[in-house]
Amino acid sequence: MTRSALFALVIGLGLGLQAGTAAAQNVGGFGALADQADEPIRVDADTFEIFEENKLAVFTGNVVIVQGNFHMWAPRAEVRYGEGGTTDLKTVDANGGVRIEMNGQTATSKRANFAVKDRVLTLLDNVKVVDDDSTVTGPKLVIDIRAGTSRFAGDGTGGRVTGIFGGG
């Protein structure tokens, strides 16, 4: 498998936005991730390394992932895959400060994880989602792309979810 083939397929499959993704209800914002299925994917990074023995691909330095109107920025993204290579992706982890923009919403967090088979995107640590007239913050945000749902949660140690809606 060539690096360029892995590069393209890892991100396409890893984000779970390729054709064949179960259609999520379009609840606007990040709930519309499944709608990006047919869009080409562009990934830019300062470096790209493959660690075959660990089944790991690592993108570092100003990582930018774009598909349709989905944009993600992070200093580092790691893609873990199974025995089937790029057809057997397990997880995509971005860390070091993640920013995601889509459909008028912006989300930030310290880390993000995408569980490929489950089609679940999780933002962790200091999560903040902002749109035109609301802001929600909390320790954790789970977006189930297949179901078209989003759920903020506290961390069980005093970290709570806070929402500010409307105001104008």
pTM: 0.75
For Cα atoms 20, 24, 27, give the angle at the middle one, nearest 5 degrees: 150
pLDDT truncated to tens, each residue of the chain (168 aa)?
Answer: 333 333 333 333 334 333 333 223 333 455 445 555 455 567 789 999 999 999 999 999 999 988 788 898 999 999 888 988 766 878 889 999 999 998 888 999 999 998 888 888 899 999 999 988 899 999 999 998 888 888 999 877 878 999 998 865
Taking phi over 0 as left and psi of -120 to 50 as alpha, with beta for the rest, 158 belongs to: left
Residue keyed to tokens 């995107």: 121
- Nearest Cα to 110, choosing from 89, 148, 137, 149? 137
CATH, domain 3-165, list 3.40.630.20, 3.40.50.920, 3.90.1200.10, 2.60.450.10: 2.60.450.10
Domain regions of the chain by residue span:
3-165
